[in-house]
Chain A
Amino acid sequence: MTRIINAQPNRYGRLLLGLLPFIILLVIYIAASDARLAENPSDKLLPSLSSFADAITRMAFEPSKRTGEYLFWADTLASAVRLAMGVGISALLGLVIGIANGMVPYVRSPLSPLVTAISLIPPMAILPILFIVFGLGEVSKVVLIVIGISPVIIRDMQLRTDALPAEQLIKAQTLGGNSWQIILRVVLPQILPRLIEAVRLTLGSAWLFLIAAEAIAATEGLGYRIFLVRRYLSMDVILPYVAWITLLAFMMDYALKRLSLWAFPWYQKAQGGRND
């Protein structure tokens, strides 16, 4: 008999098994929702699928009665811009400071302790300061994301730079490279795929900070909407929004993975072709 550790599902089996938990959760939800609605048709806690469809149509495909905007898309755009700016700035900071810290001792000595200290500040604790300093506009939300995730990326990039074999850097010097050329041609291209990995891992935190900032002070955005409609117990809006955020996060993660595969084929080969 085949041992359980050797038994492999085939391709369709894997797909089916992957979908199964989602289907089970869905069935449980529908059953629970039906049971509650049978008892009290105006129950708002577990709305039926049709009320989800109504809510989605209302939010995404009909202009808002008050502002004339398609709220769902306006929220998505506002959040996406904030997230992209926050993550983009963090990635750039992480790349530049991380490599500089890893490669140049005279940069590392003053900067590394500072980065470590900043990374230990709980970002949410200084959110009020950001609101006071930068106002309630876009800047404070972007800055919160940057403060939240850039220290992590910087430290990761610094460690990755340190982890490059010393032999490579010595070899590059014997080939006549100056410091700048070595950073540009040897270090940077090897750090970029690792930057993408770091961004993928910090995307979750970036969403966390974004939604927290939007919940506290914003006039549009996915996090703002969720916290706004919470007052009316509008589970029919909250749950689709949560699902949408999850889907967006998944698509970003997937896009970054494809980008890494496409732009750095050598990296996947050197890693043994793992596909995570």
Chain B
Amino acid sequence: MTEHQPIIEIKNLWKEYGANVVLEKLNLRVMAGEFVSIVGASGCGKTTFLNLLLGTEQASRGDILLDGQPFDPEPSVERGIVFQKYSVFPHLTAIQNVMLGEEFGHSGLGSLLTGRLTGSAKRDARDRAMAMLEKVGLVQAANRYPSELSGGMQQRLAIAQALLKQPRILLLDEPFGALDPGIRKDMHSLIRELWQEQQLTVFMITHDLSEGFELGSRLWVFDKPRIDPQAPERFGAQVTFDIPLNKPGEKQRQFDLVRQSATLASGASSEVQP
């Protein structure tokens, strides 16, 4: 990988559902190691954008390139995902949840047929899974089922599960939206640590503007620059602000700027979690 090769390159990307334009004319480049926070009002297409990155939806026009290559049209190991909920498997204990990725990825016939490992391969997988649980601070809970874990612990588990596969990009879909403020703070420091330690490239959707500013190295605001009051679905959203966040001192000024942006401010403050 050369210095100038972006990990994700988005070229003239459009997403339409019939006459309803959701995203229009997106042209973006993301370098490896960036942490992109994505904010925007409800219904502005940030989830659609994430689904395009994830591969559960396909672009109407344009391309998304990963390391210069077109994406698989379905979810794959290059992309790790943590959803707001339902990211972990309720029938597996924490350690089994993390091991599942190892068991799936293994090239042996046994793994292909039964999705399980045996013998030394299983011990190795277990060790790696345990190391991953240690990173997210869940060793004590290794043998508990998700329903016995708190919301924050479940999200830690989901992160560990995703990181085990060493994805090229990590997608976070409002990962901390359902957590208490105190827990959320812990999760912020955890994800920041993991990001720096593992050199991850992260895309995080959030409805919390300050969270986006605090965590990311770059912030995208999705918004519709043009609105036809007679037909609001006529025009799609674009990235109206693309703010680098690694310059100290700039942050507050930019934060205020985005807050003042009329449509977002009204959207963001009135946005309620479904």
Task: Please give the residue numbers on chain A whose beta carbons come within 8 Å of chain B beta carbons, in ascending order.
Answer: 165, 167-168, 170-178, 180-182, 184-186, 189-190, 264-267, 269-270
- Chain B residues near A167: list those with CB within 8 A: 83, 85-87
- Flag if B87 contacts A171 (CB, 8 Å): yes
Nearest 9 CB-CB pairings of A with B = A181-B115, A165-B86, A173-B75, A167-B86, A175-B101, A177-B104, A185-B115, A176-B105, A270-B147
Could you say which of A177, A189, A265, A267 has the most chain B C-beta atoms within 10 Å of its C-beta?
A177
- Chain B residues near A184: list those with CB within 8 A: 114-115
- Chain A residues near B75: list those with CB within 8 A: 170, 173-174
Contact of A178 among B100, B112, B158 (CB under 8 A): B112
Could you say which of B83, B91, B165 has the most chain A C-beta atoms within 10 Å of its C-beta?
B91
- Chain A residues near B161: list those with CB within 8 A: 171, 175
Docked complex Cα distance between A183 and B21 (Å): 35
> B56 at the A/B interface (Cβ < 8 Å)?
yes
- Chain B residues near A264: list those with CB within 8 A: 91
Q: A266-B145, A270-B90 are in contact. Are A170 and B100 (CB under 8 A)?
A: no
Q: A170-B56, A173-B75 are in contact. Are A185 and B147 (CB under 8 A)?
A: no
Chain A proximity of B171: nearest CB distance (Å)? 9
With both beta carbons as reference points, the residue of chain A lying nearest to B158 in the complex is identified as A171
B side interface size, CB within 8 A: 38
> B236 at the A/B interface (Cβ < 8 Å)?
no
Task: Please give the residue numbers on chain B whose beta carbons come within 8 Å of chain A beta carbons, in ascending order.
Answer: 54, 56, 74-77, 79-81, 83, 85-92, 100-101, 103-105, 111-116, 145-148, 158, 161-162, 165, 167
Docked complex Cα distance between A264 and B93 (Å): 12
16 interchain pairs (CB within 8 A)?
A: A167-B87, A171-B89, A171-B158, A174-B54, A174-B162, A175-B100, A176-B105, A177-B100, A177-B115, A181-B103, A181-B112, A185-B115, A190-B90, A264-B91, A266-B90, A270-B145
Docked complex Cα distance between A181 and B92 (Å): 15
Q: A185-B103, A269-B145 are in contact. Are A173 and B90 (CB under 8 A)?
A: no
- Flag if A175 contacts B90 (CB, 8 Å): no
Q: A171-B161, A176-B101 are in contact. Are A269 and B148 (CB under 8 A)?
A: yes
Contact of B167 among A173, A174, A178, A267 (CB under 8 A): A174
Chain A proximity of B77: nearest CB distance (Å)? 4
Docked complex Cα distance between A173 and B101 (Å): 9
Docked complex Cα distance between A168 and B145 (Å): 15
Q: A168-B89, A175-B77 are in contact. Are A185 and B100 (CB under 8 A)?
A: yes
